[in-house]
């Protein structure tokens, strides 16, 4: 059965105290969300432990926004998948376009990160998406296909049970420009086919594929109504508990 997920990506926002408040506000409203919708909050590393505490006993799950491509050792400033798992987080976002664009995240590094995340029991929210030039050049299907294959084709069908894909067109992230429901749906269907080609029809059918990019309460319903869209990865609107929950209630 394909899971419906609404995941927040707080990015580099909120102090620890503000993050804990936000998490508590999400928990307080989470009962309103249908039981079949999984709620996840993705927070900076510094927030994971206290937010894990704030989420205890609730239905809200916790994610990191990244993890290291090395297991452990002399890698100053890095945070390993094992460390993330030890906070109580059960997910990590990997391959976000901001990581690819600003921090040199390559497909090779993402393979290592994904391996380590899965080995440490974390679910992976794996992000793909084309930039504006690529879309205007008509390359969006190829870009997303290549990004998906380059990383996920190194894994097994069993691994895919712990992977969620997030399609986030770079031109729609934080810009207020959302992909139309049709634009998103055709890419989601393409990603599902890429998954089916390697892992089979059932794995593809069960794969949760999220849309991200200026998703908000006013447009979530139309986006989530598409057959291949199984929820959202929410940036800006996840910083307000009310908006985040309103998006999750758009199913
Ligand atoms: P946005 O970000 O909702 O602020 O556009 C989405 C994301 O980057 O995950």
What are the tens digits of pLDDT across the range 144-196? 999 999 999 999 999 999 999 999 999 999 998 889 999 999 999 999 999 99
- pLDDT recorded at residue 56: 98
Cβ atoms of 219 and 240 closer than 8 Å: no
Compute the average pLDDT of residues 18-40: 97
> Which residue of 233, 238, 239, 244 sits with most ligand 1 atoms within 8 Å of its CB, as the best mutation to test the pocket?
233
- pLDDT recorded at residue 251: 81
Closest CA to 24 of 245, 216, 246, 250: 245
Judge whether residue 14 has pLDDT over 90: yes
Residues with Cβ within 8 Å of residue 123, at least 6 apart in sequence: 63, 90, 91, 92, 117, 162, 163, 164
3-state secondary structure (DSSP) of residue 28:
helix
DSSP state of 171: G
Ligand 1 atom closest to the Cα of residue 233 is 9
Query: How many alpha carbons fall within 13 Å on the CB side of residue 193?
Result: 11
- Tokens linked to 178: 């959302």
97 lines ligand 1 (CB under 6 A): no
Residue 174: Cβ within 10 Å count: 12
Residue count of the chain? 251
Judge whether residue 36 has pLDDT over 90: yes
> Rounded to an integer, what distance in angstroms lies between the CA atom of residue 243 and that of residue 118?
31
Rounded to the nearest angstrom, the distance between the alpha carbon of 200 and the centre of ligand 1 is 30
pTM over the 0.75 mark? yes
Rounded to the nearest angstrom, the distance between the alpha carbon of 229 and the centre of ligand 1 is 16
On average, the pLDDT of the chain sits at 97
Confidence category of residue 21, pLDDT binned at 50, 70, 90: very high
Percentage of the chain beyond pLDDT 90 is 97
- Tokens linked to 122: 């974390």
Cβ atoms of 204 and 196 closer than 8 Å: yes
- pLDDT recorded at residue 176: 86
3-state secondary structure (DSSP) of residue 228:
coil
């Amino acid at each position: 059965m394909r899971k419906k997920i609404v995941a927040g990506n707080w990015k580099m926002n909120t102090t620890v105290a503000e993050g804990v408040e936000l998490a508590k506000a999400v928990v307080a409203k989470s009962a309103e969300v249908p039981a079949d919708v999984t709620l996840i909050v993705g927070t900076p590393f510094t927030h994971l432990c206290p937010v894990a505490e704030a989420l205890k006993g609730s239905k809200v799950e916790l994610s990191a926004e990244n993890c290291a491509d090395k297991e452990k050792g002399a890698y100053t400033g890095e945070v390993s998948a094992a460390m993330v798992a030890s906070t109580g987080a059960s997910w990590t976002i990997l391959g976000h376009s901001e990581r690819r664009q600003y921090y040199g995240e390559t497909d090779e590094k993402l393979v290592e990160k994904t391996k380590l995340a899965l080995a440490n029991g974390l679910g992976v929210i794996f992000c793909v998406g084309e930039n504006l030039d690529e879309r205007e050049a008509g390359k969006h299907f190829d870009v997303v296909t290549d990004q998906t294959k380059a990383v996920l084709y190194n894994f097994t069908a069993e691994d895919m049970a712990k992977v969620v894909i997030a399609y986030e067109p770079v031109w729609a992230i934080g810009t207020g420009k959302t992909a139309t429901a049709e634009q998103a749906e055709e890419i989601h269907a393409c990603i599902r086919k890429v998954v089916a080609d390697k892992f089979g029809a059932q794995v593809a059918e069960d794969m949760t594929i999220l849309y991200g990019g200026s998703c908000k309460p006013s447009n979530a319903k139309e986006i989530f109504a598409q057959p291949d869209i199984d929820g959202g990865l929410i940036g800006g609107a996840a910083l307000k508990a009310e908006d985040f929950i309103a998006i999750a209630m758009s199913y």
